[in-house]
Amino acid sequence: MDIQRVPFDHPDAVKLNDAVQLEYAERYGDGGDLTPLDPSMFLPPRGLFLIAYDGLGRPVATGGWRTQDENDEGYSDGDAELKRMYVVPEARGLGLARRILAALEADARAAGRTRMVLETGDMQPEAIGLYTSSGYTPCAKFGYYREYSNSLCYAKPLAPEPDTRP
């Protein structure tokens, strides 16, 4: 697999975003995730968007993070918010989401963010399993869906990389 940095409005990102929105609609019976997102939110150093391509060059997984700081939606200073984690059905079970998650955490840490946060829903057990097995724990609700009963919020501290200089 080849993981590449791309703009959030890259054609492959738009294609996979459309696919994840359809999956949200199927699971929750609504119009998908209505969180307002703008491509500029994912521009380094205040964010990043990644796509994994298979050996044939097909886009098969995405994920991104964007900077958040304390505001009236419940974020805290230093937050990096995980957005649009998705793996196409035929590429699930290959560890792509875990690889993208690790890359996003490393990038957010390098950008000076101190905590990765995410919101998911109670109809996404695969996502919940990925996040809890990766060190995320439930936290106070934040973001667009903070008032919804089926919204679940998680956080993980982004500890600084240890200094390995002699």
Q: Looking at residue 105, which CATH number applies to its domain?
A: 3.40.630.30
How far apart are the C-alpha atoms of 62 and 4, rounded to whole Å? 10
pLDDT higher than threshold 70 for residue 162 = no
Average pLDDT over residues 66-73: 93
What residue numbers bound the domain in which 68 lies? 2-157
Average pLDDT over residues 94-116: 97
Q: Is residue 43 part of a domain?
A: yes
Give 164's pLDDT tier (boundaries 50, 70, 90): low
pTM of the model: 0.93
- Per-residue model confidence (pLDDT) at position 30: 78
pLDDT higher than threshold 80 for residue 161 = no
Domain count, the chain: 1
